[in-house]
Each structure stands twice: as C-alpha cells, then as structure tokens.
Amino acid sequence: MRTSIPIEPDADTARRWLEEELAKDEYTIRPSGWFQRFQEWIMEVIDRLMSTAAEGTGLSSPGALVLIFLVAAVVGVILYLVLGPLRRSHRVKRSASVFEDDDRPAAQIRSAALTAAAGGDWTTAVIERFRALVRATEERSLVLVVPGMTAREFTAAVGERLEEHAPQLRQCADIFDGVRYGHRLADQAAYELIARTDDEVARARPKVLA
C-alpha cells in the first residue's frame, strides 16, 4: 500500500490507486471467479462512498477517503492471507526441467553424482543422480526425453513401463524438484533414495505396452 498520499485526492485518483494495488503480482493468482466478483464489489462500495461525499449527504470527502484507504488496507491483508498460501502451494507443485543442454551419457552423469556424494555435496549429488536415472531410461528406450521435460512428466511417462517403481520415481521427482527450487534441503538420505531407485530401475524389466 502507499505510505504517502495527498491530503485530499479526488475520487478518480483514489479509485485508480486501489485498482493499481489490486493489480499487483501478489494478487494475480485467482482460484475462481470469486476474486473478480470481490474486486467489483469493493469498487462499488468505493463509488458509493465517493458519491455520498460528493453529494454532501453523509461522510465528508476527507472522511470518505480515510474509509476508502482503510477498506483497501483490509482487502490487502485478506488477499495476502488467502492467496499467499495458494501462491506458495503453486510454487511447490511446479516441476523443474530435468536437463538444460546436457547430452552426457548416463554413466558420466552417474559418475559426477558419485563424486559429489563422496565430497558431501548432496545438492549436486541429488540433482546429478536423478538426471542419471532419467538418461539411463532414455538410453534403454523406455521413455522419450524431449527438451524441457520436467521431472514429473518423466515419472508419468516411465511409470507406464515400470509400474512397480512408479511410487518411488514420483518420490524421487519430488526430491529433485524441491532441491532444484531451493525449498528442500538435500541430504544423504535423499541421495541414497534416488541412488537406490536408479539401481533398481536399471535392473527392472519394463512392461510391454500394447
């Protein structure tokens, strides 16, 4: 919200300030049409307040403006409390691209993961071992890895061929996404889970698709 405003801005200015506030990125996630209706209702309330002040039948103009900014402040708090968790949930649910211009074979990527793990660099170890898992399944023609494929897209595709390993693969993808986006701490346990899954998938016999 603005911290410095003219003493008596006119009605159009006050309305424009509130519209600009509600248009900020903090309020861009709209779970349903309720947000649009809520905005329209707030604007109707403001229009009525300004009309009342202009007609001199109720609140004075300064009083109406103070009330408008109080309403705007309350709206901002409500939207932050409601949309903030949704925004955080949306970030968590995103899935990261597995490769960015990386054409190394699985054996080379796996070697890099082992080196990182030996040095206690669990972030690199987790990311590289998951990439090795993905590249290995590609080399076995179990899944077609396309540019920009995300971890979840990969697990959905390969899960059709390796159904018994699908839950583990999804868990590994969640770990990869969490580490890549920085909201999950990589550790030895996470790496060992991915490494174990990588080894099991390498030995698994894929389901033959009709």
User: 9-63 pLDDT, tens per residue?
Assistant: 555 665 666 666 555 554 454 444 565 666 667 667 666 666 665 555 555 555 5
pLDDT of residue 204: 87
pLDDT of residue 146: 82
Which token pair is 106?
């699985």
pLDDT of residue 3: 47
State what percent of residues in the chain have pLDDT above 70. Answer: 54
Give, rounded to a whole angstrom, the gap between the first and last alpha carbons of the chain: 59
- The DSSP output letter for 27 is G
Closest CA to 14 of 51, 38, 26, 37: 51
Q: Is the pTM of this model over 0.85?
A: no
Those residues with Cβ within 8 angstroms of residue 1's Cβ, 6 or more apart along the chain or in another chain: 21, 69, 72, 73, 76
